[in-house]
Amino acid sequence: MGLLEIRGRDYYERGEYHGSYQFTKLDDIISQFMVVYVGEDKILSKAKRTDVAFHAQRAMQELSFDTFKSCKAQEVTVPPSLQATLPIDYVNYTKVSWVDSSGIKHVIYPEDKSSNPKNFYQNNDGDYIVDPVATLTLGSNVYVLDGDYSDILVHGMRVTSLNTVGNSVIGDISTTGGVTSITLVGYAPGPPGVPPTVFAKNATASTDQKLRIFRYVGLGQHRLFGDSSAVATTIATTVAAPAFGTVSTFEIDVASTAGIKKGMYINHPSFVNDNNVRDSRDRLASIKVVGVGTTTVELSHVPYYNLTLNEPVTFVDYEEESQTWDKFKSATPAENQDNYEDDTYWPADGSRYGLDPQRAQVNGTFYIDCVLGEIHFSSNLAGRTIVIDYLSDSLATDGEHRVHKFAEEAMYKCIIYAMVSTRANMQEYVVRRYKQDKFAAVRTAKLRLSNIKLEEITQVLRGKSKQIKH
């Protein structure tokens, strides 16, 4: 019985079948394993298909990292920001290159002496908080601070002190002569019209009071102020907050969407973070803009409190950039010092001495920010076409669930070893036997997949016989 399920005409006319015969579907491997290895008088008397499927997927992941050929690649153009997002199914890179006008790839080398660390705001004492001293006036919700804090985020940062209620947030700020004044408003669940926070207890008509200002909503681990830009607008409709969890996104009408773009954060007390809103890494999720219309903004999460007509909101455009990354991308790359012979690359005599060979090239450098999932490039790569060759685990999409026929036997041996080694009361010599079979099968698969051709080797060696003139 032939293994082909399609006619030759269909194969050549329909692109989805091209090259498919060299692979075996993972589902077929699981089914064939259940038939051949599981049953009476077989290696495993009984086994659940779900267990076999789990070990088959784990075997596929492990073989993808160091045995299967890596065919994954993504082409990107380096933008002025010198950052690009890693591929969706990225696990590790094998090579990063830029492409010249002839389509030839030039290898870019990793930069291990720079990074993009977290950049938190610190006050003069080194603390990660804003602790201004304010002058309070009896009966007023305007607090005069002891300096210039004009970069504090408005419409959502929380303020606490001995003389403020629990849900006091900054409703407005103004700075005159290097002195910032903040207007506090109260915020609590319930109908609109919550009265403002008025200084009215435990104080005289004018008192100096130390405040503590910190984030109130979804700004995650971002700095408290000093962000790149903020766009202020107002709510154009009155909206009652839906029950949490009823919808995955929320759309609000605003007076203007000018300056608002996807990826910005909203700074507003209606979008309070708590443990019920978490991202894929189980961190407190930031409330982000996921869509922008003419007069509407779609947010990643629903509000907790009601939104009232003409209520002010601020959208913050915060790029997670540290001073280290900012300096790296703005400097002339050291790797532009190209070689040992061309004097145009050397500003002074004797500078070749002590040259680091890994930087004696002009291809540029990169490093990967694993937390943000971004790849950062040196400034001489701006505008270039970059190819990222990378590894995945072959489980990202259904179309990847297939195994090269050179490694099919290795898959069976990996599965049977995993099944045997995780069973109770299994003799140790039996486990060792299947472990040896697994390693032997994986070694064979590596040799087959290395794709060594004698003619190609001899062609390369011919070039080694050329005379080298000095």
Res 320: pLDDT: 57
pLDDT for the residue 391? 86
Which 8-state DSSP code applies to residue 357?
A: G
At residue 30, the pLDDT reads 92
Alpha helices by DSSP H, 14-169: 26-37, 49-66
What pLDDT does 294 receive? 87
What φ, ψ does residue 108 adopt, rounded to 5°? -100, 135
- Under the phi-then-psi rule, with left for phi > 0, alpha for psi from -120 to 50, and beta for the rest, what region is 368? beta
Q: Which residues of the chain have pLDDT under 70?
A: 1-3, 118-129, 154-156, 162-167, 186-210, 212-229, 242-249, 269, 271-286, 304, 318-321, 332-355, 357-358, 464-470
Residues 241-259 pLDDT 10s? 766 555 666 788 888 888 8
pLDDT of residue 19: 79
Q: What are the tokens at 456?
A: 């190609």
What's the pTM value of the predicted model, to 2 decimals? 0.63
User: Between vectors from CA 453 to CA 448 and to CA 454, what angle results, nearest 5°?
Assistant: 130
State residue 361's pLDDT score: 76
Residue 416: predicted pLDDT = 93
Other beta carbons less than 10 A from residue 436's beta carbon: 12
Please check whether residue 144 is in contact with residue 225, taking contact to mean a CB–CB distance below 8 angstroms. no
Distance CA 58, CA 418 (A): 9
Q: Dig out the tokens for 323 from the structure.
A: 């001073």
d(C-alpha 225, C-alpha 229), whole Å: 10
Return the structure tokens found at 381.
């790569």
Residues sharing a CB contact under 8 Å with residue 448, sequence separation 6 or more, in sequence order: 406, 407
* C-alpha distance from residue 174 to each of 99, 150, 157, 267 (Å): 51, 7, 15, 18
